Amino acid sequence: QVQLVESGGGLVQPGGSLRLSCVASGGILRSNNMGWYRRAPGKERELVARFTSYGSTDYADSVKGRFTILKDNAAKAVYLQMNSLKPEDTAVYYCRWPGYGVDYWGKGTLVTVSS
């Protein structure tokens, strides 16, 4: 059974940085298409950043130039480096990692950007 565990969330001041980690264990996972999503209070879950099927990256317009998605397939890990954080980045961040015929999701890590 695949498990995804996110970490690295917390409280940060506007302009600060955080690095989220998602580590997978168990099962067989694809080497691409994994990504980060978030759900802000009162809003729908949205894509933040992902690797495409071709290994390129795709970002939400709101985070372009500030966030970077990274991966380490050997370690079964995907990261989200978040810089220049804004209050509107406050959300629960989820890792999504596709297997074969199934999508796996972590339980999320809370990021709060506030002074």
> Tell me: the pLDDT tens digits for 84-114?
999 999 999 999 999 888 999 999 999 999 9
28-50 tens-digit pLDDT: 888 889 999 999 999 999 999 99
Residue 19 predicted with pLDDT over 90: yes
pLDDT at position 48, please?
98
- Tell me the backbone φ, ψ of residue 87, rounded to 5 degrees: -55, -35
Query: Of all residues in the chain, what percent carry a pLDDT higher than 90?
Result: 83
- State the Cα–Cα distance between residues 4 and 17, nearest whole angstrom: 22
46-85: pLDDT as tens digits: 999 999 989 899 999 999 999 999 999 888 999 999 999 9
> Phi/psi of residue 99, each to 5°?
-100, -145
